[in-house]
Amino acid sequence: MSATRIVRLNVLQQSPHDLTEAEPEDLSNASRLESWVPSRFNVHATVDDGRLILWNTLSTAISVFKPEQVPQVLTLIKAQGFDSRREGLAGYLAERGFLVRKGMDEYRKFLLAFGQQHYRSDRLELFVLSSEDCNFRCTYCYEDFARGTMRPGVRRGIKRLVEKRIEELLTLDIRWFGGEPLYGWEAVEDLGPFLSDIAEKHGVAYRSHMTTNAYLLTPEVAEKLLAWRVNAFQITLDGVAATHDCSRPTRDGQGSFATIFRNLEALSQRPDEFSVMLRVNFDKNNHPHLEELFELLESRFHGDPRFTLAFHAVGRWGGPNDPQLEVCSDDERNIVQRALKAQAHRHGLKVSTLKDVNFVGGQVCYAARPYNLIIGASGKVMKCTVVLDKDENNVVGRLHEDGRLVLDDDRMALWTEPAFQRDSQCQKCAVLPSCQGISCPLPRIADGTRPCVPTRTNSKIELFELLEYPTRKARIREVAEGTAPSKEHVELPDDGRRAAR
């Protein structure tokens, strides 16, 4: 006769459910019918060969489908709504964000992502103007070179500021700017090792980028910068010597191309991990003559993934030579830019694409973020590197030697307000997660103009470029059988990072 153990339970102290082993709950909802609708943030384009490129600007997923799959994919992403289990093709599209549950407020979901990104106290980005003077006198430059190397007191202020903030930071991002930052080498040599060391000591993610003309980027200087973890550079070449030297002469009128290129070649011989964005500023004069530059770059840097080309149209940015500049019209800019990318690619050169900015906020201007500040050589705190201190509204405060930041809240708000919240057109736009209506705050501040990014009108062309100029080998996945033709589709990597301006 078996004995039965009687358990006396005090229900005020223990739940009766604890006496039995609970069946595991299915939290996946995979077997349940759900109602789906297409995401409002989908952008798609059909390639000439019948493939479909699908991009969701909120999830940042990009997928390329074979022609056999396209009819069914289009049916699902254009449907007013349908019921399906989270499996097969519908499940895949839902997982990637191309389909969302019916009733979901995607704008509200975007607001959450925006708030988490915009109002961060654990991130500090400083543009450090180590010198506001420059050893060049570029024809399209807008700066007035009013000051030289950053003062010692301002450098001490930066150190004290970082020391005060470092315990609360997850990321410290330093962007060396000018003038020409290497023209203020004393400041770079003072701050560079300090900033790298303090970030490492406190386990803070550290990034350091330099926008330099590279005239002073000798092997000895590069050695020190890389040791201080300054390992991302933007360097401008406007063609070979015959064209580059016309637009980017030294301040005493000499050519600069030969010295820059010699420094680039020396940098390319190093084994270190670094990245160089080779910026080409084009106008009506130089763009017909850039083929020679591509040939030269191909002979020196072909196959080196550390070097990428980006093409930017020269603009009238507020400099004394603005009336004489042969700038391209808006329509010409897009046509020339596409042609230059194609030319460079034919020479085996890596070019920038939508992948470089494919993350939430990827096309937002640094000046719009509250955690981003420009520290001038005299201690002025500014927001926009184009305006600098030529407009008092851009001077948002001052950094004191003890590390105190005294900021003007009204001017800070002018640059950092989430302008899309009062712009109904922005709120309806499929590209909103990428630019957030603040790709450049300046037009709204100046005259109330909406600063739409080129992606808004050129999205199909930019998607095509992902196939024409892939940044690395795409991954291949199978779509589940029974939901679409059992053909593969290409899934483009979605781990792009924004190239520094």
Q: pLDDT tens digits for 264-287?
A: 999 999 999 999 999 999 999 999
Alpha carbons 427 and 239: distance in angstroms, whole number: 41
Query: Can you tell me the mean pLDDT for 38-55?
Result: 96
Query: Can you tell me the mean pLDDT for 456-462?
Result: 93
Confidence of residue 83 (pLDDT cuts 50, 70, 90): very high
For the residues of 22-78, what is the DSSP string, one character each? Answer: PPPP--S-TTS-EEEEE-TTEEEEE-TTS-EEEEETTT--EEEE-GGGHHHHHHHHT
Using the CB atoms, write b or e for 453-466: b if 16+ within 10 Å: bbbbebbebbbbbb
Alpha carbons 337 and 356: distance in angstroms, whole number: 16
Confidence of residue 488 (pLDDT cuts 50, 70, 90): very low
pLDDT score of 3 more than 90: no
pLDDT above 70 coverage of the chain, percent:
91
pLDDT digits (tens, 9 = 90+) for 164-178: 999 999 999 999 999
Confidence of residue 87 (pLDDT cuts 50, 70, 90): very high
The pLDDT value given to residue 144: 92
Token output for 479: 């779509």
The pLDDT value given to residue 16: 86
User: Which phi and psi (to 5°) does residue 97 adopt?
Assistant: 90, 5
- The pTM score is 0.89
pLDDT score of 472 more than 90: no
Enumerate the β-bridge partners of residue 46.
52
pLDDT score of 322 more than 60: yes
pLDDT score of 500 more than 60: no
Confidence of residue 6 (pLDDT cuts 50, 70, 90): low
Confidence of residue 2 (pLDDT cuts 50, 70, 90): low
Q: Between the CA of residue 399 and those of 98, 112, 192, 404, 450, what are the distances in Å?
A: 46, 32, 18, 6, 32
Question: In whole numbers, what is the pLDDT of the chain averaged over residues?
Answer: 91
The pLDDT value given to residue 20: 81
pLDDT score of 110 more than 90: yes
Q: Which helix (H) or strand (E) covers residue 272, if one does?
A: none
Confidence of residue 498 (pLDDT cuts 50, 70, 90): very low
Q: Which fold has domain 118-393?
A: TIM Barrel (3.20.20)
Query: Can you tell me the mean pLDDT for 75-95?
Result: 93
The pLDDT value given to residue 455: 94
Kindly give, in sequence order, each residue whose CB lies less than 8 Å from that of residue 479, ignoring residues fewer than 6 positions away.
69, 88, 89, 92, 485, 486, 487, 488, 489
Confidence of residue 484 (pLDDT cuts 50, 70, 90): very low
Confidence of residue 475 (pLDDT cuts 50, 70, 90): very low
pLDDT score of 262 more than 90: yes
- CB neighbourhood size of 386 (10 A): 17
pLDDT score of 123 more than 80: yes
Nearest to 334 by CA among 437, 457, 471: 457
pLDDT digits (tens, 9 = 90+) for 126-149: 999 999 999 999 999 999 999 999
Locus of tokens 């995607």: 106
Query: Can you tell me the mean pLDDT for 455-476?
Result: 79
Distance from the Cα of residue 158 to its chain's centroid = 25
Q: Choose the weakest-confidence range: 277-286, 290-299, 326-335, 371-380.
A: 326-335
| Cβ 89 vs Cβ 73: under 8 Å | yes
Confidence of residue 17 (pLDDT cuts 50, 70, 90): confident
pLDDT score of 477 more than 50: no
Alpha carbons 441 and 295: distance in angstroms, whole number: 38
Alpha carbons 111 and 104: distance in angstroms, whole number: 13
Kindly give, in sequence order, each residue whose CB lies less than 8 Å from that of residue 230, ignoring residues fewer than 6 positions away.
174, 176, 192, 208, 209, 210
Alpha carbons 475 and 490: distance in angstroms, whole number: 6
Nearest to 238 by CA among 198, 165, 297: 297
Kindly give, in sequence order, each residue whose CB lies less than 8 Å from that of residue 214, ignoring residues fewer than 6 positions away.
233, 235, 260, 263, 264
Token output for 408: 């003007």
Confidence of residue 471 (pLDDT cuts 50, 70, 90): low
Domain boundaries, the chain: 34-104+470-491, 118-393
pLDDT score of 85 more than 70: yes
